[in-house]
Structure 1
Amino acid sequence: MEALARSVGEALLKAGASAVTAESCTGGWVAEALTAIPGSSAWFEGGFVSYSYDAKQRMLGVKAETLEQYGAVSEPVVTQMAEGALANSSADISVAISGIAGPDGGSKEKPVGTVWLAWAVRGKPTVTCLSFFHGDRETVRRQAVIQALEGLLAYLPD
């Protein structure tokens, strides 16, 4: 994970870009992975940890009706989280994560390990991804962090 975070930092620095995170089930782990890299203040703006519905609405502008209709672990919510992180920062790219890390909280429709991610870049369509991870809580969260970092590399602005 450290090598991947370092690669994200190098790519952001080379592009003259900065990143922001909007995290729910990972609790700030993506931001922690990025800020563990020396010099990250040159390319990492900050992060939002929005675990509750209220925090998602206040900090990121997620609409109450979207949360009510789709639930926090959904494509519309994670899209609004990623776009809200950009709107509330001066970063060039954002990543948002919302999922069910377990061990409880899953359902038949959204089992434990269900994670939605979104990456937003100014002036481009937001990209989303639905993943189904396996393992215990830490393993699900770790896999989500890795996927978030890989997406930052893949969708980094030109």
Structure 2
Amino acid sequence: MKYQDTYKKLAKFGRELLDNTSYSSGLPRISKYAKEVIGAQRCSIFINDIAKKELWTTLADDVSKIVIPSDKGLVGFTIKERKPIIANDPYTHLHFLPEIDKATGYTTTNIVTAPIFNSKREIIGVLELLNKEGGFDNEDVRFMIFFAHYVSGYLELIANEKI
């Protein structure tokens, strides 16, 4: 498995994450780690605001806050399907939102998403990685599932306690 050494580094990452008790300090660490492990250019962590029926991220590399309805885009499709999505040719995917690329000036060549579940099995967010050379594969999805589960307790704590 190509991520074997990466799991050894996960304990160190977890300790560092616990020192970051807000979205603004913790989300960049999560993003940086996910990008490094998988080899993606960008990472966004969308938070699912169930009450407002929207997904938002303040962590989208070099982009200001993105807000979309929770039933739109590949992240919305991820919530609907309750499973990861790979789109190695996103512009042909029915649920891809090319207007986000247009608004940001960034071109998405491939994308992988994974739902982030809380302890009640509700989706509290979506982890999204963009633009990996050669495209994303099933091994990337396995890691994304593991990693989303790994960070879910932290994200649930931050969301519930606003620490």
TM-score calculated relative to the size of structure 1: 0.36
Structure with higher RCO (Cα < 8 A, 6+ apart) = 1
TM-score for the superposition, normalised by structure 2? 0.35
